[in-house]
């Protein structure tokens, strides 16, 4: 006779009996065994595998159960795998990764034995499903090569089209799309994950993102469900693509690069004059790491004056930022009055973190006091600016123009006024747009490599890098 058991690990199953050997499947990797004993006593569960040869040779290091982990003795609240050969001295106890252990259902007062038997064959049972990973919002289709080496271990799906959960219809589609997945990789803040959305994803066990923080993820709720959240460290401080992109927008708008390019391709020639930056005033709304680096370029490359404003900014703090960049005290002049800051600036560049306090920090009042020759640049977050007030200002031609890399919502709807309005004509201001690419350069390859590494670490029960909760 022969015993057969199916364990509650998704649908792990005994596969077939082949002569005196049992071939079973517990992670998509087939391994031979002569005896498999499963014991369950809540709150701990032990799985003992006895092999006809050394356990380390039979356990595949790519399986969900790590074969090369420090020896442990005894039991605790964690679940374990115990494996070895008949020689008692070779028995070892290995910790079972915490994200895998919930799949193993504790079976009180049950002891299951599958014992070597005579050649009796059993029909093959369905192979267990792999762990599922969803990679979201990879607009440029960059990620596949970075995860190709994991294709035999996990099932990977790519969803480049963003669904915005703030829209009820799209939220329902997003939840339906992601329900089957055990792990999700988000690209920055393109898809927000609130408590309401996360609570509708019962299979979720790991949430990865790119960058060192993501304010669009409810990390506290994830912690309450014991869902680890991890980001990516990225490049060293001091080299930041957003600084470069900010200056691309400032120069592009000041010199009419996009407009003149289109005119030449229509067969036209010179039709406007560029804006001189030398000696002008750059106003930085926010003087953190990014803002101060943008200011440094203004001073050193264009001999501009640099002013700064934010709610709690002091001259002492501004001087500290300057000193950190090798600039003398007073390089960044703090303007205490917000209205005065907007009145004086020829270029206003936004570098604030989005919060409830900073939402709409640039509104009709601030736009109303700007110079008619001034430009507004936003590479931070769309909701920092009152969109309706900005559209009214630009439609009326009250300022020279705006250069925007960020919007609300994103991606922009096809019928957005930003897309459909004939900017720069009939008295309207100039508008230069980019599709939130301030951070999107070669560093994204590194982000995906780090995310793939974190996924492997999670599968093997190791500590995640850049943990966010």
| Contact predicate 290/321, CB 8 Å | no
HEC string of the chain? CCCCCCCCCCCCEEEEEECCEEEEECCCCEEEECEEEEEEECCEEEEEEECCCCHHHHCCCCCCCCCCCCCECCCCCCCEEEEECCCHHHCEEEECCCCCHHHCCCCCCEEEEECCCCCCCCCCCCCCCCEEEEEECCCCCCCHHHHHHHCCCEEEEEECCCCCCCCHHHHHHHHHHHCCCCEEEECCCCCCECHHHHCCCCCCCEEEECCCCCCCECHHHHHHCCCCEECCCCCCCCCCHHHHHHHHHHHHHHCCHHHHHHHHHCCCCCCCCCCCCCCCEEEEECCCHHHHHHHHHHHHHHCCEEEEECCCCCHHHHHHHHHHCCCCCCCEEECCCHHHHHHHCCEEEECCCCCCCCCCCECHHHHHCCCCCCEEEECCCHHHECHHHHHHHHHCCCCCEEEECCCCCCCCCCCCHHHHCCCCCCCCCEEEECCCCCCCCCHHHHHHHHHHHHHHHHHCCCCCCCECC
Two tokens at 274?
């560029």
Question: Distance between CA 408 and CA 412 in Å, rounded?
Answer: 7
Q: Which of 410, 453, 457, 462 is catalytic?
A: 410
Q: Which of 256, 436, 450, 460 is catalytic?
A: 436
408 counts as catalytic? no
Residue 15, CB half-sphere, CA atoms under 13 Å: how many?
A: 16
Q: Which residue has the tokens 């609130």?
A: 194
381 counts as catalytic? yes
Question: Distance between CA 321 and CA 315 in Å, rounded?
Answer: 10
30 counts as catalytic? no
Which residues make Cβ contacts (< 8 Å) with residue 273, sequence separation at least 6? none
Q: Compute the residue count for the chain.
A: 469
Q: Which of 256, 381, 400, 460 is catalytic?
A: 381
Catalytic residues: 381, 410, 436
């Amino acid at each position: 006779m022969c015993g057969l058991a199916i364990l509650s690990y998704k649908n792990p199953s005994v596969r077939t009996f082949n002569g005196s050997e049992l071939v079973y499947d517990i992670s998509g990797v087939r391994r031979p065994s002569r005896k498999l004993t499963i014991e369950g006593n809540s709150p701990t569960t032990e799985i003992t595998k006895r092999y006809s040869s050394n356990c380390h040779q039979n356990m595949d290091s790519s399986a969900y159960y790590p074969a090369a982990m420090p020896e442990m003795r005894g039991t605790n609240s964690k679940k374990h795998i115990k494996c070895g050969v008949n020689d008692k001295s070779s028995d070892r106890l290995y910790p079972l990764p915490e994200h895998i252990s919930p799949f193993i259902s504790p079976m009180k007062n049950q002891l299951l034995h599958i014992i070597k038997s005579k050649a009796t064959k059993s029909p093959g049972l369905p192979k267990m499903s792999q762990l599922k990973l969803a990679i979201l919002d990879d607009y440029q289709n960059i990620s596949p090569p970075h995860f190709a080496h994991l294709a035999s271990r996990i099932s990977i799906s790519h969803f480049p089209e963003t669904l915005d959960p703030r829209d009820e219809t799209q939220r329902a589609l997003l939840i339906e799309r992601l329900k089957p997945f055990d792990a999700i990789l988000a690209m920055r803040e393109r898809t927000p994950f609130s408590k309401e959305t996360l609570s509708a994803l019962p299979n979720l066990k790991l949430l990865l993102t790119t960058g060192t923080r993501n304010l669009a993820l409810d990390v506290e709720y994830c912690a309450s469900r014991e869902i680890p959240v991890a980001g990516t460290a990225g490049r060293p401080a001091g080299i930041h693509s957003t600084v470069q992109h900010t200056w691309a927008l400032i120069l592009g708008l000041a010199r009419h690069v996009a407009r003149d390019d289109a005119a030449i391709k229509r067969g036209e020639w010179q039709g406007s004059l560029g804006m001189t930056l030398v000696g002008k005033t750059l106003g930085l709304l926010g003087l953190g790491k990014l803002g101060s680096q943008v200011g440094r370029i203004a001073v050193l490359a264009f001999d501009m004056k640099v002013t700064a404003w934010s709610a709690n900014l002091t001259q002492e703090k501004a001087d500290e930022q300057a000193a950190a960049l090798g600039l003398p005290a007073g390089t960044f002049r703090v303007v205490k009055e917000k209205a005065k800051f907007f009145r004086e600036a020829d270029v206003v560049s936004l570098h604030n973190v989005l919060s409830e306090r900073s939402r709409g920090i640039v509104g009709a009042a601030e736009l109303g006091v700007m110079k008619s020759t001034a430009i507004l640049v936003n590479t931070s977050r769309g909701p920092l600016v009152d969109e309706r007030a900005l559209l009214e200002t630009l439609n009326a031609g009250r300022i020279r123009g705006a250069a925007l890399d960020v919007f609300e919502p994103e991606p922009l709807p096809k019928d957005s006024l930003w897309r459909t309005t004939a900017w720069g004509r009939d008295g309207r201001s100039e508008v230069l747009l980019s599709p939130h690419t301030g951070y999107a350069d070669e560093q994204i390859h590194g982000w995906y490599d780090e995310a793939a590494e974190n996924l492997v670490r999670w599968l093997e029960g190791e500590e995640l890098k850049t943990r966010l909760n």
